[in-house]
Amino acid sequence: MLKEMKVAGITVDPFTNTPIVLLKDLEDKDVLPIWIGLLEASSIATALENIQTPRPMTHDLIKNILDTLGVKIVKIEVNDLRDNTYYALIHMDVNDRRLTIDSRPSDAIAIAIRTGAPIFVEENVIKKSSKADISKKGDKVVTDSNEWEDILENLSSDDFGKYKM
């Protein structure tokens, strides 16, 4: 079953300095942290802040191409988690046909923000994420999504770097 989520913000993992995009469900019950690349984090942050660049960046270019071709992004879906790697699908309508394209979640999210498409996560992915060995804090493996939320919420503003929430 799919659960609609929204981008709650971007932060940086204080242990690895890797950007994390945080998805929260619409009731603010579940949080899904997805570790992403620096360029993708920058692209998502730029879209979240409605920052206009002098020339189109990659995800802006993709949106412009889709708009020119009359393609509508219906939704994006984070549909799997295997070996600590998230998978996503972009659902689009093209000439009265529904197409589904495999994507990295970070790219799908960057496109969804630009097109206003809803973001969905398969509930099984949320469950797998809460059980996955995602990171270590000292000797302690953090596996519970509530524990991750506590850790992320208790970081100081200095821990967030330029990706303040």
Q: How confident is the model at residue 131 (pLDDT cuts 50, 70, 90)?
A: confident
- What are 124's two structure tokens? 């099984």
Q: How confident is the model at residue 28 (pLDDT cuts 50, 70, 90)?
A: confident
pLDDT (tens digit per residue) in 53-103: 999 999 999 999 999 999 999 999 999 999 989 999 999 999 999 999 999
Where along the chain do its domains lie?
A: 2-160
With beta carbons less than 8 A apart as the criterion, state whether 49 and 67 touch. no
| pLDDT at position 138 over 50 | no
pLDDT score of 132: 61
With beta carbons less than 8 A apart as the criterion, state whether 129 and 83 touch. no
Question: What is the CATH number that goes with domain 2-160?
Answer: 3.10.690.10
Q: How confident is the model at residue 147 (pLDDT cuts 50, 70, 90)?
A: low
Q: How confident is the model at residue 142 (pLDDT cuts 50, 70, 90)?
A: very low
- What are 138's two structure tokens? 């000292």
pLDDT score of 141: 37
3-state SS string for the chain: CEEEEEEEEEEECCCCCCEEEEEEECCCCCEEEEECCHHHHHHHHHHHCCCCCCCCCHHHHHHHHHHHHCCEEEEEEEEEEECCEEEEEEEEEECCEEEEEEECHHHHHHHHHHHCCCEEEEHHHHHHHHHCCCEEECCEEECCHHHHHHHHHCCCHHHHCCCCC
| pLDDT at position 145 over 60 | no
Q: How confident is the model at residue 140 (pLDDT cuts 50, 70, 90)?
A: very low
Query: Average per-residue pLDDT in the chain?
Result: 86
pLDDT score of 130: 82
